[in-house]
Amino acid sequence: MQVGYKVKYKNDSLINRYKARLVAKGYAQQHDIDYDETFAPIVKMTIVRVLIAIAAAKGWHLYQMDVKNVFLQGELEEQVYMVQPLGFHSGTNTSAVCLLKKSLYRLKQAPRAWNVKITQRLHRMGFATSKSDSSLFIRKGRLGPVSILLYVNDLVITWCRPR
pLDDT tens for each residue of 62-119: 999 998 887 777 888 877 777 777 666 667 776 777 788 888 777 777 788 888 889 9
Structural domain for 147, as ranges: 2-159
pLDDT at residue 1, rounded to an integer: 45
Answer whether residue 147 shows pLDDT above 90. yes
Q: What is the pLDDT of residue 31?
A: 60
Q: What is the pLDDT, as a whole number, of residue 142? A: 79
Give the Cα separation of 81 and 97 in Å (integer). 6
d(CA 136, CA 155): 10
Average pLDDT for 10-24 = 74
Task: Determine contact, residues 35/111, Cβ cutoff 8 Å.
Answer: no
- The strand pair at 61-66 and 154-159 is best described as antiparallel
Amino acid at the residue 6: K
For the chain, how many structural domains are there in total? 1
Distances 17 to 10, 87, 117, 135 between C-alpha atoms, Å: 9, 19, 32, 37
pLDDT tens, 109-144?
778 888 888 999 999 999 999 988 889 999 997 778
- Which residues make Cβ contacts (< 8 Å) with residue 80, sequence separation at least 6? 29, 34, 35, 99, 100, 107, 109
